[in-house]
Structure 1
Amino acid sequence: MNLVVQGTRVDPATLRALAALTEAGATEEIAPNAWRLTDARAHAEVEALCARAALDFAWVPAGRRLADFGLFVTDMDSTLINIECIDEIADLHGVKTEVAAITEAAMRGELDFRASLARRVALLAGLPVDALERVYAERLRLNPGAERLLRELKNAGLRTILVSGGFTYFTDRLKTRLGFDETWANELEVANGRLTGRIAGPIIDAAAKAAHLTHARDALGLRAGQTIAVGDGANDLPMLREAGFGVAYRAKPVLREMADCRLDHSGLDGILNVLA
């Protein structure tokens, strides 16, 4: 196995310590502040050492590269972008504290997602639909590395899908902005220029996210191991379980525990280093 380590700064002393700890055969620079330790042996102290040095690490089979994959599926809120859109919409309606508390509990896996979504959307009833544009223009930002990651995925020939328990208003715009092949999300019902507090159409929940991944994978004739999925919360668990390579980005503990790769310090384009 190879051990890939990366962060905002990789201290040479830490790199040497990791190489000695894992009895690595060689140390190769992948990119500035990203290194591959080849033929490394697993060691219980690797995680603690990387945590102290603010480094992300991932164990990757030798020879595994981005070219081995054909499908990339990512979550939106707090993964591709820096906010939970529903919380920011709620802020413009004066109910952010209540909505954000429900969002946080749902992302930790403490509440059923479908029920929590219905509760949160109901609290938005009466808000002018123009508030969505304000959130997109004033508050939504791409997380670091997102643009480079999507550009390189497209260059490598992967099909890219954005699937979200959030809202089509935002996924539609990000599809145009970043060039996703497909986007799936929940549609907020609107009447007379205001949100009704209901979802129009089927709910995109954890099961639906996983289903969109498997449908696309099967349509492309890919094996499970040829898919990458990225998320941050409990409703991304089934999707990551279906993927050949699961990435937890700034994730809740429930997702971190089962991911193949955790990115807590690097940008989303750190995925490119792991699979370089």
Structure 2
Amino acid sequence: MNLIIQGKDLPTPSLKALAKLTSATAIEAISPMAFRLVAADESQRAEAAAFCEAHALDFGWVPAGRRISDFGLLVMDMDSTLITIECIDEIADMQGLKPQVSAITEAAMRGEIDFAESLRRRVSLLAGLDHSALQRVYDERLQLSPGAETLLGAARAAGIRTLLVSGGFTFFTERLQPRLGLDYTAANTLEVADGKLTGGVVGDIVDAQGKADWLNRVRSELNLAREQVIAMGDGANDLAMMGEAGISIAYHAKPMVRAQASYALNQVGLEGVIPLLGLNAVEG
């Protein structure tokens, strides 16, 4: 196994201490924020984890033989994962209802409220809002998470297809798809009448199981094995989807999501996913 260490500040003494702790045979630079400790001793997992936690470092144990080309599908949550905002919270802000909606969002992400029920409750609060508010959120507030385009570029170069599946709204996924060159998207559709939101959702809600179903649908379409799928998210609604993937990544996620994921990124941006997928084509 190789131990991948990532962080915004990676002092040499910390890397050397970790290499000594895990009896690694070499320290290889992947990027200014990522290093590979070669042939690290897995028996020191707990000690390495404690060290990284104390020094604000992200880490991941990666099989030495893994290649990024081993994977064929990258599945991503949208809100607070691929992008920095929760779209529904920002839409609600246009109604002066952000605190009420954000509280429901947070409870759902912690798994305290069924997602479908939480979505219906939040959307109902938006009734009467002019549909143009969605475009304002997209134009004025939606930002990609750091490293998003770097990750998508690496996936594209490796021939990995991309699926953006969201408990949010098609208004945003359909705009991000051409902008980012995504292969597939799935989300919920807000009901609109006379240019205003009705407070309802059209069709079946893309909830936790819906996300998992989309992952499996696209995986089957691409004739991929489960081990060839990467899934990443940040909330309880992503756990079922992440459980269907060979590798799951908790991105700046809730504690319950971090605890169940293959890897957790808390310090770096989405570019931090790339070293966890193994060696790239240049490295062999």
Structure-2-length-normalised TM-score = 0.95
Q: What residue number does 1:18 align with?
A: 18
Q: 1:236 aligns with which of 235, 238, 242?
A: 238
- 1: distance between equivalents of 2:154 and 2:2? 22
- Tell me the residue number matched to 1:190: 192
Paired AA for residue 233 in structure 2: G
For 2:6, the equivalent position in structure 1 comes to 6
List per-residue Cα deviations over 1:40-62 (Å, max 9, x = no partner).
12321212211222211011111
2:205 to 180, 184, 203: 203
Q: Distance in 1 between matches of 2:48 and 2:62?
A: 14
Q: Which amino acid letter does the alignment assign opposite residue 4 of structure 2? A: V
Deviations 1:86-132 (A, max 9, x none): 00000101111110000000001111000000000000000000000
The letter for the 1-side match of 2:26 is A
C-alpha distance in structure 1 between counterparts of 2:214 and 2:174, whole Å: 16
Q: Which runs of 5+ in 1 are unaligned?
A: none
Separation (CA, whole Å) in 2 of partners of 1:210 and 1:78: 18
Q: Distance in 2 between matches of 1:33 and 1:118?
A: 41
Letter in 2 for 1:271: V
1:24-50: CA deviation from partner (whole Å, max 9, x where unpaired): 122211111211112212321212211
- In 1, distance between residues paired with 2:221 and 2:142? 32
Tell me, which stretches of 5 or more residues in structure 2 are unaligned? 280-284
Alignment partner, residue 73 of structure 2? 71
CA–CA separation in structure 2 for the residues paired with 1:201 and 1:69: 32
Aligned residue for 1:186, secondary structure, equals: strand
SS at structure 2 position matched to 1:266: coil
C-alpha distance in 2 between matches for 1:12 and 1:271: 22
1:161-200, Cα deviation, whole Å (9 max, x unpaired): 0000000000001101101011000000000000000001
Give 1:37's aligned residue. Answer: 37
Counterpart in 2 of 1:268? 270
Question: Would the aligned equivalents of 1:31 and 1:273 in 2 still touch at CA under 8 Å?
Answer: no
Higher alpha-carbon deviation: 48-57 or 118-127:
48-57
- CA–CA distance in structure 2, aligned partners of residues 32 and 250 of structure 1: 20
Q: Per-residue deviation at 1:159? A: 0.9
1:27 corresponds in structure 2 to: 27
Q: Given the two structures, how large is their TM-score scaled by the length of structure 1? A: 0.98
Residues in 1 aligned to 2:81 and 2:33: alpha-carbon distance in whole angstroms: 22
* Structure 2 counterpart of 1:216: 218
Counterpart of 2:60 (choices 42, 58, 61) is 58
For residue 259 of structure 2, what is the aligned residue in structure 1?
257
